[in-house]
Amino acid sequence: MAESAPADSGTAPRPSAPADDGMLRIRGGLGGLTFQFEELLAGAAALDGLVRQLASLEVEVDAVRRELFPYQADSYTSGSNAIIAAGEGSRALGRVREELERLCRDVRASHREYEFTEARNSLLLRIGRFGPGYGPLWGLFGLPALTARDVLEDEVALATGRLALLLGLPAGSARELGTSGGPPGVRELVRGLGAETGLAGLLPGPVRITGAETRQEQVDVSPAGLLFRAGAVGGASGEIEVLRLDGGSRPAWLVVIPGTQLDGAPAGTNPFDAGGIVEGLGYGSAETTAAIRQALRAAGAEAGQPLAAVGYSQGGIHAMNLGQDKAFLAEFDLKFVLTAGSPVGGITPEPGISSLHLEHEQDWVPGADGLAGPDTRDRVTVTLTNALDVPALADFGLGPGHRLGNYAAGAEAVAGSKDLSLRTSVAALAAVVGSGGPATVTRFSLRREALPPQPGNRRVDPPGPRPDGKPDRNLGGKPGGRLAGKHAGIGPRNAGV
């Protein structure tokens, strides 16, 4: 958080929003506060090392001075001068050491003061959001207006505590429900949806590949091009793309995952329907990740070859979950994740995986998990602030902020930005996918197998061959085939998360 009044200006520092880069508000990366704090501590540690070296030299020089004492009588003038020079050298080293010690203390004090200021500013922000009685503070400190994303994120973060109050539970109950991966109880509440009568269809089931098509084409691997590609993949029910890119010294791979799809496939069989949200937020995308592993193997990906993942909305949840799945990472070398409009603040990838997340200040979906994206060296979150046209009510969907075209325009601005964090993040993506060109594109059709029938829930038969050996009518006349018949040419509705 920036300060509106600099140090030593005679006025108290006040929190203000970080400077925007055009319509981009940037958090994290090499320009983020966390990295700067890390650099301060690294600098202090380096100074500590120099201090120890100087102290050791100081001791050695003083030892040389003492060893010269017996020889002073052999040549009094030169012997005395040598002893004096050694003593002066030791004292000079001591003065430099003391100055470096002071500098090291100042650097650590600066780090502590910055951390205290950031904690205080965050507290003021939270007071302004959560306490209606503190409304005037918002304008007093010149803070930016609350957005749809801020409001939803805060309401989700408070939901479990309010539920505990409503049920008359002890004050500590909400905390006991929480996990280290998110706000108290949010993921538990998501998993609990499947236990409700009539909602067992939201529980994760095995996801398998039912078809594949491979072709050669020219691909645009810019951030905007990749997001448009995610939109195109979302035009068919339950499909992902795996791209082999041969522009570098060795093959690189790209996985493209679409957003939520609420029609275009038999109910309960599309892994990217509402049940996919439950699996992504509550179960770490375990079943979808297993299917993606199988798809990468089928496409020919090998260990050690770099991989990037791209996801829009719900697809971003699954893409980020790849980065924390140890079995997946043991087999594939995931280097970068790009998401747009995705609630991924509570997903922490393994070290060494870079990620870039696009949000819009008027898109509530990225705040649906109640957590803001962390500010770390390898993780950059970009909030778009551009004005949006309000569509007709019939086309409103999840709001104009969540539209993929809006995020693609933001991605173009990201690619052209001179901000240090963004330039580094875009370069990290390019290091994996290269500059584009010819690629081998394999589009896989995925289907979720239905769980056994439960009381109060209608059974949904999985796609594929029927028990009598006849082909399923929804899969184009042959087992494992692509959609045909009444579903041919009907694209799903990309509903968001």
| All domains in the chain, ordered by first residue | 19-130 (no CATH), 190-387+397-451+466-480 (3.40.50)
**23-45 per-position pLDDT tens digit:** 888 888 877 667 666 777 777 78
- Which one, of 389, 409, 408, lies nearest residue 399 by Cα? 389
Residue 479, pLDDT score: 36
Of the two residues 441 and 191, the one the predictor is more confident about is 441
- Please return the burial class of 332, using the count of CB atoms within 10 Å of its CB with bins 0-12, 13-18 and 19+: buried
Residue 308, pLDDT score: 97
Rounded Cα gap, residues 58 and 87, in angstroms: 10
Rounded Cα gap, residues 284 and 295, in angstroms: 18
Residue 401, pLDDT score: 85
**217-229 per-position pLDDT tens digit:** 999 999 999 999 9
Percentage of the residues of the chain whose pLDDT score is greater than 70: 67
Region 199-215: what's the mean pLDDT?
Answer: 86
Please give the full DSSP string across 144-183, using - where no structure is assigned: PPP-HHHHHHHHHHHHHHHHHHHHT--TTHHHHH-BTTBS
Residue 135, pLDDT score: 45
* Least confident interval from 145-154, 168-177, 205-214, 302-311: 168-177
Q: Which of the four pLDDT bands, split at 50, 70 and 90, describes residue 364?
A: confident
Q: What integer best gives the mean pLDDT of the chain?
A: 76
- Which one, of 258, 426, 444, lies nearest residue 342 by Cα? 258
Residue 45, pLDDT score: 83
**223-263 per-position pLDDT tens digit:** 999 999 999 999 888 999 999 998 777 899 999 999 999 87
**Residue 474 in this model has a pLDDT that exceeds 60:** no
Q: Which of the four pLDDT bands, split at 50, 70 and 90, describes residue 155?
A: low
Region 77-98: what's the mean pLDDT?
Answer: 88
Region 184-207: what's the mean pLDDT?
Answer: 67
Residue 259, pLDDT score: 93
Residue 432, pLDDT score: 94
Q: Which of the four pLDDT bands, split at 50, 70 and 90, describes residue 387?
A: confident
Percentage of the residues of the chain whose pLDDT score is greater than 90: 33
Region 482-495: what's the mean pLDDT?
Answer: 39
437 close to 247: Cβ distance less than 8 angstroms = yes
Question: Encoding tokens for residue 313?
Answer: 């909305």
Q: Which of the four pLDDT bands, split at 50, 70 and 90, describes residue 121?
A: low
**299-326 per-position pLDDT tens digit:** 999 988 999 999 999 999 999 999 999 9
Region 358-383: what's the mean pLDDT?
Answer: 87
Within 10 angstroms of residue 382's Cβ, the number of other Cβ atoms is 31
Strand partners for 376: 379
Residue 423, pLDDT score: 92
**Residue 84 in this model has a pLDDT that exceeds 60:** yes
Q: E-strand spans in 278-378?
A: 306-312, 333-340, 354-360
Q: Highest mean pLDDT range out of 200-209, 271-280, 457-466?
A: 271-280
Of the two residues 348 and 10, the one the predictor is more confident about is 348
**Residue 341 in this model has a pLDDT that exceeds 80:** yes
Q: SS3 breakdown of the chain: % helix, strand, coil, rounded to 5?
A: 45, 15, 35
Residue 164, pLDDT score: 45
Region 286-308: what's the mean pLDDT?
Answer: 95
Residue 449, pLDDT score: 85
**Residue 286 in this model has a pLDDT that exceeds 80:** yes
Residue 324, pLDDT score: 95
Q: Which of the four pLDDT bands, split at 50, 70 and 90, describes residue 488?
A: very low
Residue 437, pLDDT score: 87
Within 10 angstroms of residue 135's Cβ, the number of other Cβ atoms is 10
Rounded Cα gap, residues 491 and 154, in angstroms: 34
Q: Which of the four pLDDT bands, split at 50, 70 and 90, describes residue 9?
A: low
Region 163-172: what's the mean pLDDT?
Answer: 44
Q: What SS3 class is residue 26?
A: strand
Q: Which of the four pLDDT bands, split at 50, 70 and 90, describes residue 90?
A: confident
